[in-house]
Amino acid sequence: MGSSAATSVQDGPVQGSAERPLAIEARGLIKRFDGFTAVDGVDLSVPEGSIYGILGPNGAGKTTTLRMLLGIIDPDSGLRRILGHDRPHEVAHTIGYLPEERGLYPSMKAYEAIAFMGALRGLPLNEGRRKGKELLEAHGLGYAIDRQIRQLSKGMAQQVQLLGTLVHDPRLVVFDEPFSGLDALNQGKLEKMIRGLAEKGTTVIFSTHVIAHAERLCDEVAIIAGGKVPFAGPVDVARDRIRPQVRLETRAQDGAWRAALPQDARHEGSFWYFSLPETGIEPLLRALIEGEAGILSLSIERAGLHDAFVAIAGEAAARALELGGEEERSQ
């Protein structure tokens, strides 16, 4: 791994949103390749024990950011600290990393492949073999223990590599597009595994271009587009960038109560649609009741992460995000 002597954090650790110690902190990371700026001033604060997502379209700078954090490549400028260390390679044995480019030796047996990955992180080979067999059994792959990687399906091989990422019980797990190529069943298994890791206190950070995974799993997200991070923080805070939307159905079509509706209210059939007023719903309800509007139904829907992504990163980034998902589904 690369040296990070020029990228040590000088200002001391920065605490997370809940004042938890940080597993990862980065300030102003910049990386250029042949004059192209792939990452442009990225700031991240990942609390210990959290599930943290880096959400953005393909080519946004997600993989480059993760590689800089891990010390695989060095930033051109900026500060980083991993598990309290300025030099990532010093704590490599406590980190599990699943790169986007999967790769296992085809002739290795499944449990041997897991043991080999553990050995790269300092786990004794015999212990890795024992734990490899245990992990395969525990995850319903006991029948594949002695099979060579070339004899496994693509999905099974991905699961073997995933288990190899975890065999040494890392404190921090970094996944780069971990759901890519997995069917719906195995995606569900991986989501369950990620939640289980966090419950044990392991910090999980993963990149994805699929909003649904980030919304279901993450405590916090960094939205990245064009190498920049316009938002980093709790998912709920991102969603609150957009006011909740109200759907109101009334029996009456007109009356003095209509003056109480917000200016952005639009009428479709017997329904009204508008943003939740800053004063809340209660003043409007009083006006509707006193004006005998005849409330048939009323619902308040909070914005989803997709709408928040559009508001934060822009329509072009959102289209690129959706295009990446469509390309993956077609493969």
The predicted structure's pLDDT at residue 328: 55
Both 185 and 62 in one domain: the answer is yes
DSSP state of 64: H
Residue 46's closest CA among 9, 74, 13? 13
Compute the C-alpha angle 81/169/70, nearest 5°.
Answer: 25
For 143-163, write each residue's pLDDT tens digit. 999 999 999 988 889 899 999
Structure tokens at 169: 């019980």
For 225-241, write each residue's pLDDT tens digit. 999 999 999 999 999 88
Both 156 and 285 in one domain: the answer is no
Task: Please check the confidence at residue 80 and state whether its pLDDT lies above 70.
Answer: yes
Buried/exposed 26-52: b ≥16 CB within 10 Å, e otherwise: bbebbbeeeeeebbbebbbbbbbbbbb
Task: Please check the confidence at residue 224 and state whether its pLDDT lies above 70.
Answer: yes
Residue 314 resides in a domain: no
Contact 81, 22 (CB under 8 A): yes
Domain count, the chain: 2
Task: Please check the confidence at residue 184 and state whether its pLDDT lies above 80.
Answer: yes
The secondary structure element, H or E, covering residue 314 is none
Distance CA 284, CA 261 (A): 7
Distance CA 221, CA 308 (A): 12
Backbone angles phi, psi at 281, to 5 degrees: -90, -20
Give bridge partners of residue 125 from the DSSP assignment.
Answer: none
DSSP state of 5: G
Across the chain, mean pLDDT equals 89
pLDDT band at 294 (very low <50, low <70, confident <90, very high): very high
Residue 240 resides in a domain: no
Domain containing 252: what range?
A: 245-301
Residue 309 resides in a domain: no
Both 58 and 153 in one domain: the answer is yes
Both 139 and 166 in one domain: the answer is yes
Both 105 and 71 in one domain: the answer is yes
**pTM, rounded to two decimals:** 0.82
| Domain containing residue 189: CATH number | 3.40.50.300
Question: In one letter, which amino acid is 331?
Answer: Q
Contact 124, 87 (CB under 8 A): no
Both 208 and 267 in one domain: the answer is no
Both 111 and 191 in one domain: the answer is yes
The predicted structure's pLDDT at residue 48: 95
Both 180 and 270 in one domain: the answer is no
Task: Please check the confidence at residue 1 and state whether its pLDDT lies above 80.
Answer: no
The total number of residues shown for the chain amounts to 331
Contact 100, 47 (CB under 8 A): no
Both 212 and 138 in one domain: the answer is yes
Alpha-carbon Rg of the chain, whole angstroms? 24
Both 218 and 173 in one domain: the answer is yes
Distance CA 191, CA 85 (A): 29
Residue 94 resides in a domain: yes
Residue 251's closest CA among 305, 279, 293? 293
Question: In one letter, which amino acid is 75?
Answer: P
Q: What is the mean pLDDT of residues 77-103?
A: 92
Above pLDDT 70, what percent of the chain? Answer: 92
Percent helix / strand / coil, the chain, rounded to 5: 40, 25, 35
Both 213 and 286 in one domain: the answer is no
The predicted structure's pLDDT at residue 153: 87
The predicted structure's pLDDT at residue 13: 38
Residue 325 resides in a domain: no
The predicted structure's pLDDT at residue 20: 79
Last residue of a domain, one of 179, 214, 234: 234
Question: In one letter, which amino acid is 125?
Answer: L
Last residue of a domain, one of 208, 234, 260: 234
Burial bucket for residue 59 (CB in 10 Å: 0-12, 13-18, 19+): middle
The predicted structure's pLDDT at residue 81: 95
Q: What is the mean pLDDT of residues 261-278?
A: 91
Last residue of a domain, one of 234, 264, 292: 234
Residue 200 resides in a domain: yes
Structure tokens at 170: 């890392």
The predicted structure's pLDDT at residue 116: 96
Contact 236, 325 (CB under 8 A): no
Task: Please check the confidence at residue 9 and state whether its pLDDT lies above 90.
Answer: no
Both 111 and 251 in one domain: the answer is no
